[in-house]
Each structure stands twice: as structure tokens, then as C-alpha cells.
Structure 1
Amino acid sequence: MKTKTYLAVMEPCTTGYDVFFPDFPGCVASGKTIDQAARNAKDALSMHYYAMEEDGEDIPEPSAALNAEDTAGNVVSPITIYPELLHEEYRNRRVKTNTTIPAWLKAAAEERGINFSRVLENALMGMIN
């Protein structure tokens, strides 16, 4: 499985650590501890990477090294993501949608314990496939 590893720069601050990725301007995170900052950085990088791919933007190759200005007094940590898993995860995530049905139908379905989401999903899958 293909992986991508980017360098995250963790800057100490009064609340813990602020994180940025020199390869991805605008991709930021933070955390109270280095471990929390690294977890949040991975989430931020994953979402940023996915959004760029979905928008058809060029994805930068990981930098092999960072300049001294970025690293001075900071912690540098490699963050690895799995692009194929990102696509699968985000593509299959559950999203909320609103629908309108007659009140009597809603009441009758609720009385029978019918799962509205499951019914709608099954019906749409049947119509699409």
C-alpha cells in the first residue's frame, strides 16, 4: 500500500504545540502535548491531502529536509498517511441529509422501529445499481 510521509514542524507555544507543514501551506494543527499534536497533525494532513486531490490540485512531493528557519527551536516529526485508505474512508463516511415525508408515514414507520437511514440507503442503492 502506497504511503506518503511529510515533515511536520511543531512549534512550542503557551498552550502546547502549534503544527504546520512546509509542504502544505495552510495545513495546521495544534495539541497540548507532542503526541496529541502529532495525532491532530495527521488528521489535518489527511483532510488537506484528500481535499487537494478532490479539487484536482497538484500534490507536493515530500521534502527531504527543511530549512533552518522552520526547524530552529522546533520539533520536527515525520507524519505518514495512506492516500488509498483516505479515499476509501472519506468516500464511505456517513453524511447527514434531510428529507420530507408525510407525518402519518413517519409515525407509522417509527411505531415499527424502521431505520430511516437504512431504508433510504437501500432504496437509493437499488435505484443506482
Structure 2
Amino acid sequence: MITYYAFPALMECNALSGRYIVVFPDLPDLICQGETRESAFHDAEISLGLHLYHMEKDKIHIPHASNPASWTKGEGAEVIELEADTLKVRQVIDKKRVPKCIMIPKWLKDLGEEHEVNFVQILMEGLMEELGIPD
């Protein structure tokens, strides 16, 4: 399961507004801006993670990052590299707990209850291990 992405983007200062604009040629629906270069970069990084998270959730194909050398750049535009981890975005956004009904043998349930086993914790840890998700 891919959850880590790196995408190049173009950042340039808008001559009229003085704001910094960030565009992602590989993700044309994603455009960000900020008052300063740093705020534009920060906003673009957060927006990239959210955008890719929603693409995954909606089962929209996420393209491979293209080579910025082939892009047409305006005067003063610079290529920046941004990273996003959609697993971290999921962990922040989808904190809601949901019920999951499972069936186990009665003897196992009884034994677990006798030993005060936390069934939910064990299930979560097992799922995370199975999916290769770090704690």
C-alpha cells in the first residue's frame, strides 16, 4: 500500500498581488498560495496530503510525478519538491471509531475475558502489523 508521495511543483511570486502561488503540473486541480514563500510552501505541503488522501479515498488514479525539466516555467518560477504521507492524513482525519463484528470460538472469548484481554487493542495491533503500519 503506497502512502508516501513526493511531487515537484512550481512556485512563483504573483507580480500583482505579491502572493506566492504553487501549482502542481501533475495534479492540475491543486493550486495553493501564501503571503510568503514559507507560508505558500507549508500550505502546499498540507494541501498535497489532503488532495492525495481524497484521491485515494475516491479511488482516483494518482499519477507518477513527471520530470520538471520538461515543464514550461515562467520567469522567476522555481521548482520545489513536496512530500505527503496519506497514512498520517488518514490518522488525523479518520479518528472516529467504528464497530466491527467478528466471530471467535466461545472458548477463546471466555479464556480472553478470564485473562482480561483487550480484544479491541489486539485486533487493532494485529491489523496494523498485517498492513505494515508502524505504531
Tell me which interval the TM-score lies in, with the shorter structure as reference length.
0.5 to 0.7
CA shift, 1:63, in A, is 1.9
Structure 1 Cα separation of the partners of residues 84 and 27 of structure 2 = 14
Structure 1 stretches of at least 4 aligned residues deviating more than 6 Å after TM superposition: none
TM-score, length-normalised on structure 1?
0.65
- Which consecutive residues of structure 2, in runs of 5 or more, have no partner in the other structure? 101-135
Partner of 2:50: 47
TM-score, length-normalised on structure 2?
0.62
Q: 1:89 to 1:34 in 2, by over 3 A?
A: same
Matches within 5 A, 1:43-122: 43-70=46-73, 72-92=75-95
- Which consecutive residues of structure 1, in runs of 5 or more, have no partner in the other structure? 94-120
Deviations 1:72-120 (A, max 9, x none): 4202110011122122222127xxxxxxxxxxxxxxxxxxxxxxxxxxx
- SS of 1:92's equivalent in the other structure is coil
Moved more, 83-92 or 23-32: 83-92
Partner of 1:25: 28
- SS of 1:85's equivalent in the other structure is helix
Amino acid at match of 1:84: L
- SS of 1:44's equivalent in the other structure is helix
Identity %: 25
Structure 1 Cα separation of the partners of residues 74 and 86 of structure 2 = 26
